[in-house]
A and B are shown apart, each in its own frame.
Chain A
Amino acid sequence: MRFLFKTSYAQDWRLARHGGQVFWYGLLLAALLAAPWVAGPYWTSQLTFVLIYAIAGLGLMVLSGYTGLLSIGHASFLGVGAYTQAVLTSHGWPFPAALVTAAGLSAAVGVVVGLPALRVKGIYLAVATLAFGFIVEEVMARWESVTGGNSGLSVKAPDIFGFNAGGAEAFYMVVLATCLLVTLGVLNLLRSSTGRAFIAIRDSEISAQSMGIHLARYKTMSFALSAAIVGIAGALYAHKLRFISPEQFGIEQSLDLLLLVVVGGLGSVHGAFFGAIFLITMPQLIAMAKDWLPPAIGQAAGLQALVFGAVLMAVVMFEPTGLYGRWVKWRTYLELFPTYRRGMFRRQRAFQKSERVR
């Protein structure tokens, strides 16, 4: 059992709470760095997708998990980032400059999408973001001169200071570096006053307002930051797939992102990673399990939809803190063994509060 004695204020805001965390995360980082040479190209490709979706998940987590604003149109930011990156790199822009511009343009679109957020709440905001998602998708399809329309657009390999990073290992390193930077950025955001303001807005807007938090400014900032992060993920996504088309950024992708954050664990940075791992590896696991199932179920077209839906419902009903929450419970059990109490994480009985008078 570990006892944390706090002897200075600095300990409250350190990234790693104790040496054990430093050790384990260090090991994880070493494993990730060694992965391309140990695991082979197929697993490297999977890890690259996991990291890209983790970045996108972090973006949505900042908005939905930490500011409490539900968004069902987030794939549009992924698309804006992807198309910006594709168009700029095809005009010869270097990768870092294009990436920053993609993030910036996504943030600008995020501000526009966030404008209704200032006036509406809850389900109305969800429908507004849904509407924006469809509109942005249509714009991407119609603006043929820039985006190539429905025929799609080819994307060149990333060119970093003259070094072609298109190979599997090189691109994986680029993605890993970006992911680390984004994660550190989000962790810093949450340690800062802006992050605390976001969490206050999630918990109770009226209380936040009473504490002096300017709702409009912080909500807009949340949308902009979230869109910027998802835009970065989109830019990397474009380089990974080498070919993008508007249909990849529709409602299905938005629902995938939502699934990612909810199953991973809403309201935690780890949740984005757990969710990304779930989203990318679950289809492979289902494909492997198909052979053990009776043909009526195993060969059915809707098996993956069924499994995804079932997992989502199970998470929502039995483990609202998601996969990360379940992991925290196990870890606590192991840490406190044998003094773990069954009721440690039990939820309080709640009565539904009307969102209309929140």
Chain B
Amino acid sequence: MIRQARLSTIAWIAVALSLPLIAQAQATQGVTKNEVLVGTIQDLSGPIAAFGKETLNGMNMRIDEANAAGGAGGRKIRLIVEDSSYDTKKAVLAAHKLVENDKIFITVANIGTSLALTTMPIFTEGGVIHAFPLASARGLYDPPNPLAFAFTVPYYQQGRVIMKALTDMRADRKWCSLMQDDDLGSELMKGLESKAAELNRKIIEKTSYKRGATDFSSQVARLKSAGCDTVVVGTTLRETIGTLNEAKKIGFAPDFIGTAASYSHLVPKLGGAVTEGFMSSHASSQPYADDPSKALRDWFAAYKARYGEDPGQYAVFGYASMDWVIKTLDKVGPNLTTQRFVETMETSTFPRDKLGFDTMSFTRTKRLGSEAVRISRIQNGRWVPITDYLQP
């Protein structure tokens, strides 16, 4: 009897001692008792380095806020940053490094559409959650991948909202387009045309330019001679201003509307008076120092005090994406695994916050937070919303 008792005691002690080992063996990659590893691939030295740096600033601001308050779900967040220089092979190597060497738990706010599409399988197949890339492509959330979440509304949906919203404002329009010849332009055009078919409209003149072009005289001349009164521009910062300047020069004054790619505080700042009346579709708000919302004013001031420059859209994206991740980590709590994070995210709803995003919600099959988009116009050098969030 004593021997039996001793044996069973020994057995219990053995099991008790090995429990931590078992727990360690099943521990989630990138998660320790005190720390959770977050990775991100930004462009810090390539064509959109300015955006990459801004995103990083936004992310770091949110992470430091969380760490100062004791961490997320009881763990401090450590951010590992990789630089892709907007080069696909560097992004692939960075993704491998993050998954296999650094062993991160989740990757957030990776920048660049074709880079995200290429690196997402590396993360998801390695068991790392791929969250909120700063990239606009359907493939990032559809077909739904258990480890992928997205928030940027692709240009396809933005095109549909543009067509619908402007038609609602005034039905009789002569639609034309000036598109950058890459995925921005082609996706936007597909979205416009799909809604146009539903509303029985047609785009009567289409023009395009190569990324980096500086001269738009022949395109704008063509649009003017076709008699357009509504021009959708799939352009980024410099090309938007170049097009508006050219149009003003030849006395061509249609309604110009762009996408989130041209929704930036730099457009009125660099373009000046010629940008008055320019509209863009977007899915978040441009923060201003004298914004009507106090929460946004405080956020603006905090960012400016910390980094010495005004925050733009990318700072908002960086901050918001980390914010959703941190809120989910808080909800999951100390017992953090990939499975529990995903399940918590799938039952989460993030209401409209100070940064202007629409309500974000995720389910097993819905991996894009919200498809809704709104339209703003430049008035007196500021972006002012003229519609509410509209579904595509």
Does B88 belong to the interface (CB within 8 Å)? yes
Partner of A141, one of B44, B50, B88, B181: B181
Q: Digit string of B46-80 for contact with A (CB within 8 Å is 1, else 0)?
A: 10011001000000000000000000000000000
Residue from A45, A151, A241 whose CB has the most chain B CB atoms within 10 Å: A151
Partner of B85, one of A150, A248, A304: A304
Does A351 belong to the interface (CB within 8 Å)? no
Does B35 belong to the interface (CB within 8 Å)? no
Task: List, in ascending order, chain A residues with CB within 8 A of B44's CB.
Answer: 299, 301
Contact B186 A149 (CB under 8 A): yes
Contact B92 A241 (CB under 8 A): yes
A interface: dominant SS: helix
Q: Which residues of chain A from 141 to 158 have any CB-CB distance to chain B below 8 Å in the complex?
A: 141, 144, 149-152, 154
Provide the bound-state CA to CA distance between A138 and B211, in Å.
11
Contact B186 A287 (CB under 8 A): no
Task: List, in ascending order, chain B residues with CB within 8 A of A42's CB.
Answer: 93, 96-97, 100-101
Task: List, in ascending order, chain A residues with CB within 8 A of B46's CB.
Answer: 301
A148 CB to nearest B CB, Å: 9
Provide the bound-state CA to CA distance between A149 and B185, in Å.
11
Does B90 belong to the interface (CB within 8 Å)? yes
Contact B96 A241 (CB under 8 A): no
Contact B118 A242 (CB under 8 A): yes
Task: List, in ascending order, chain B residues with CB within 8 A of A152's CB.
Answer: 114, 117, 183
Task: List, in ascending order, chain B residues with CB within 8 A of A154's CB.
Answer: 139
Minimal Cβ-Cβ distance residue in B for A53: B89
- Interface size classification for chain B: 20 to 34
A252 CB to nearest B CB, Å: 8
Number of interface residues of A (CB under 8 A): 33
B82 CB to nearest A CB, Å: 8
Does A309 belong to the interface (CB within 8 Å)? no
Residue from A45, A49, A300, A305 whose CB has the most chain B CB atoms within 10 Å: A45
Does A185 belong to the interface (CB within 8 Å)? no
Minimal Cβ-Cβ distance residue in A for B89: A49
Does B371 belong to the interface (CB within 8 Å)? no
Contact A284 B45 (CB under 8 A): no
Contact A247 B90 (CB under 8 A): no
Contact A243 B96 (CB under 8 A): no
Partner of B96, one of A41, A150, A283, A299: A41
Provide the bound-state CA to CA distance between A100 and B53, in Å.
44
Minimal Cβ-Cβ distance residue in B for A283: B90
Minimal Cβ-Cβ distance residue in B for A49: B89
Q: Which residues of chain B from 13 to 61 have any CB-CB distance to chain A below 8 Å in the complex?
A: 44-46, 49-50, 53
Does B187 belong to the interface (CB within 8 Å)? yes
Q: Digit string of A250-293 for contact with B (CB within 8 Å is 1, else 0)?
A: 00100000000000000000000000000010011001000000
| A-B contact list, 28 entries, CB within 8 Å | A42-B96, A45-B92, A45-B93, A49-B89, A138-B210, A141-B182, A144-B186, A150-B182, A150-B183, A150-B186, A151-B186, A241-B89, A242-B118, A243-B114, A245-B183, A247-B211, A248-B114, A252-B87, A280-B89, A280-B93, A284-B93, A287-B83, A299-B44, A301-B44, A301-B45, A301-B46, A302-B45, A304-B45
